[in-house]
A and B are shown apart, each in its own frame.
Chain A
Amino acid sequence: MALYLYLHFPSLQCDSLADAETAGLPVAVVDAQHRIVQLNTAAAQQGVKLDMGLASAAALCHKLHLLPYQQHQQQAVLMSIAQQLYQLSADIALDEPDGLYLRLCNMLQLYQGLAGYRAALMAALALLPYQYYYASAATPLAAKCLALQRLNLLTEDCTGTDAALKRSPLSFTELEPDIQQQLQRLGIDSLGRLLALSTAELARRFDNRLVSYLGRLRGEFFHALDYIRPGPGFSRYLELLYDISDMAVLSAPLSKLLQQLQQQLERSNTLCHQLTLRLYCRDSETKSYSVGSAQGEYRAANWLKLCQLQLESHRLTAPVYGLQLEVTQFAPQQAQSDDLFQPQQGNVSALQLVSLLQARLGRNAVSGLSLQNQHLPEQASSRPLPLLQTRSLTGALLQRPAFILPQPRPLQEAVEISSGPERLCPDGWQLAAQRDYFIGRNSKGQWLWLYRTAQQQWFVHGLFS
């Protein structure tokens, strides 16, 4: 027997703001017609009701915090809930803007009955800050109708749900207002009375919208649901209740996003190497930062540290009203093995250390060193990314200085030559550009690496240290 559950979230956009700061603050969402469409419990306690006009709501509660309804954000929040519940239930379909269909019948065996499923689902929903109502029934539309009435039924027993369904007023159905009005004129005010009529009779009098709805409600017609598949990556947006213009304050909402990232990474047993943080600034262009970790991290605390280091070096020019965190690629976790007899001293690995340094100092400030197969000294040393395992093909040349000056500087002091010359010629044997290298010691006792050009000019190119 088919069994569906409908989850109804009446105040998604309000609840997605919830944190310690906004606790106790009445918040409501208004649509374009200035009607209240969502409100939180604090606002409800003050007497604000749904569908109320803005003026009466403001008169009832002068501290009411209003937000404009944003369809895009509502969708994103609904999708994120669906992705979190996907760990529990295989078949989940979105019902925009504020509901989810869950197909239960194929999950009951896994949870050994409805009680086990219910416990797992309630535990998962309790972690989320959203208000919800639920109901189960044999068809998706019946479940939705019951959930909208906030009945909170979860049972395999058909008679109970049927009775409740028959009592439901027509306003909780998905029928269009003109059909509802027509039915009311006929004296039909509950779903039970509508279901009692024969379908053939109704089809003669009403158009096929009503027939199709009733067919899907009864389960006679096939109701196609578009079940979600979790996409790769992670993308969350967080709207701030207050504009933030201080980087340090930003870490509190950021850690909330990172916690969500950690949950997702933990579930899939993966980690990520790079995340993109976007700060939406008021009256200014969006700032985007990319934070990297060479080793790969999943812990929110480590990511927060890296983000903070990166943000510290920047200044906010405009207040931030929203944060977005995006990860496009996940990598599988790899266990690291430590030496049993020589345990590592710290709790940081070399790759983590490099990421930490790069986050604060910038990518270019941290590098490694590798030996290239080149005879010219300025090309022999290259500065690749740190900790790259490169196999050197060449033997190192002896008699090279410890430091090469980035720009050779003209020799301007007396030097005592102790060894040389060593003639180096640039590519193509350009004889005019050949250089004769010498090692010399100046009056201060410094050992210099000098060269003489074909034009008999002397330059200092390196320092023996």
Chain B
Amino acid sequence: MSALLQQLARRQLVWHGNSQQAAYQAVSSGYPQLDQQLAGGFPSTGLIDIQTDTGIGELRLLLPYLQQQQRSGRLLVFISPPAQPCADMLAAAGIVLSQLVIITPETAKEALWAAEQCLQSGCAAAVLLWQVPLKLALARRLQLAAEQGAATLVLLRRPAAGLSLPVNLSLELKPHRQGLQLSVHKRKGGWPAAAFLLDMQQYWPALYPAADSPALPQRKAG
């Protein structure tokens, strides 16, 4: 192998097609359809990059997974959420509120510092980080911290072109009338698949009324 290739491999910029040990341990996402597409579910540790707009169902997608991660008695950390999280909704989804820590730092630098501390400490199972710009070197650093503390860092950010980050899983979410349109950009140990629709009607009937049911009237407002 050439020196250049070796160097690229060391920085994890190229992958061997036959190396399977790089694949992560999967935890069920709570949606059978998604588990099938992701070959088991979300990674149990490391970085998950989710490119999404706010308010289209990104947290709903993660809730069963977060609940499962929290089951070990470790913490769930929200860093700079877009607004005040609602206790009713989280408790209804089975999140243990006493194991939830909300951090609202003033700057992006502080947010990243807090994320790294939480990941490294080993007492957080999952950290959700909203809308913080991330550079390649920082992402690598957070990935190492996450591996050290056996934790997951979920990055929720707007769709952005640019270099792909060294993450275990990268998803892009688009809103859809019946659920979410998902496309997998990158999955460690797997190939990117075509975009698919995740039907959320049976999980959240209030938000996604069945098209054929006349029971709920549709009204225009505003």
Contact present for B98 and A387 (CB under 8 Å): yes
Asked if B105 CB lies within 8 Å of chain A CBs, one says yes
Asked if A23 CB lies within 8 Å of chain B CBs, one says no
Q: Closest chain A residue to B90 by CB distance?
A: A369
Contact present for A371 and B57 (CB under 8 Å): no
* A439 vs B219: C-alpha distance when bound (angstroms): 11
Q: Please, which residues of chain A bring their CB within 8 A of the CB of B83?
A: 403-406, 462-463
Q: Enumerate 7 A-B pairs (CB-CB under 8 Å) in ascending A order.
A: A345-B149, A353-B118, A372-B87, A382-B87, A417-B220, A464-B55, A465-B57
Contact present for A365 and B122 (CB under 8 Å): no
Q: Please, which residues of chain A bring their CB within 8 A of the CB of B21?
A: none
Q: Please, which residues of chain B bring their CB within 8 A of the CB of A154?
A: none
Size bracket of the B interface: 35 or more
Asked if B185 CB lies within 8 Å of chain A CBs, one says no
Contact present for B103 and A361 (CB under 8 Å): yes
Chain B min CB distance to A283 (Å) = 31
* Residue interface mask B129-170, A partner, CB < 8 A = 1: 000000000000000000011110000000000000000000
Q: Please, which residues of chain B bring their CB within 8 A of the CB of A397?
A: 88, 92
Chain B min CB distance to A376 (Å) = 11
Asked if A270 CB lies within 8 Å of chain B CBs, one says no
Contact residues, A342-373 vs B (CB, 8 A): 342, 344-350, 352-354, 356-357, 360-361, 365-372
* A348 vs B113: C-alpha distance when bound (angstroms): 16
Contact present for B98 and A368 (CB under 8 Å): yes
Contact residues, A407-459 vs B (CB, 8 A): 411-419, 438-440, 444-448, 450, 452, 458
Asked if B19 CB lies within 8 Å of chain A CBs, one says no
Q: Please, which residues of chain B bring their CB within 8 A of the CB of A392?
A: 91, 97
* A405 vs B218: C-alpha distance when bound (angstroms): 25
Contact present for A346 and B55 (CB under 8 Å): no
Q: Please, which residues of chain B bring their CB within 8 A of the CB of A349?
A: 123
Asked if A401 CB lies within 8 Å of chain B CBs, one says yes
Chain A min CB distance to B89 (Å) = 4
Q: Among A350, A369, A388, A411, which residue has its beta carbon within 8 angstroms of that of B123?
A: A350
Number of A-B contacts (CB under 8 A): 209
Contact present for B86 and A462 (CB under 8 Å): yes
Which of B87, B175, B209, B219 counts the most chain A CB atoms within 10 A? Answer: B87
Asked if A119 CB lies within 8 Å of chain B CBs, one says no
Asked if A68 CB lies within 8 Å of chain B CBs, one says no
Contact present for B91 and A345 (CB under 8 Å): no
Q: Please, which residues of chain B bring their CB within 8 A of the CB of A340?
A: none
Chain A min CB distance to B121 (Å) = 4
Q: Closest chain B residue to A362 by CB distance?
A: B106
Indicate whether A342 sits within 8 Å of B72 (C-beta atoms), given known contacts A406-B84, A463-B82.
yes
Q: Among B55, B75, B100, B106, which residue has its beta carbon within 8 angstroms of that of A369?
A: B100
Contact present for B91 and A464 (CB under 8 Å): no
* Residue interface mask B33-73, A partner, CB < 8 A = 1: 00000000000000000000111111110000000000010
Which of A365, A389, A398 counts the most chain B CB atoms within 10 A? Answer: A365
Indicate whether A404 sits within 8 Å of B84 (C-beta atoms), given known contacts A353-B117, A369-B90.
yes
Q: Among B110, B120, B123, which residue has its beta carbon within 8 angstroms of that of A361?
A: B110
Chain A min CB distance to B135 (Å) = 21
Contact present for A367 and B102 (CB under 8 Å): yes
* A357 vs B72: C-alpha distance when bound (angstroms): 22
Asked if B221 CB lies within 8 Å of chain A CBs, one says yes
Indicate whether A369 sits within 8 Å of B220 (C-beta atoms), given known contacts A346-B121, A445-B175.
no
Contact present for B209 and A418 (CB under 8 Å): yes
Which of B85, B121, B207 counts the most chain A CB atoms within 10 A? Answer: B121
Q: Please, which residues of chain A bring their CB within 8 A of the CB of B55?
A: 403, 446-448, 463-465
Contact present for B97 and A370 (CB under 8 Å): yes
Asked if A380 CB lies within 8 Å of chain B CBs, one says yes
Contact residues, B163-222 vs A (CB, 8 A): 174-176, 206-209, 216, 218-222
Q: Please, which residues of chain B bring their CB within 8 A of the CB of A396?
A: 87-92
Asked if B27 CB lies within 8 Å of chain A CBs, one says no
Q: Closest chain B residue to A371 by CB distance?
A: B87
* A400 vs B206: C-alpha distance when bound (angstroms): 10
Q: Among B74, B98, B207, which residue has its beta carbon within 8 angstroms of that of A439?
A: B207
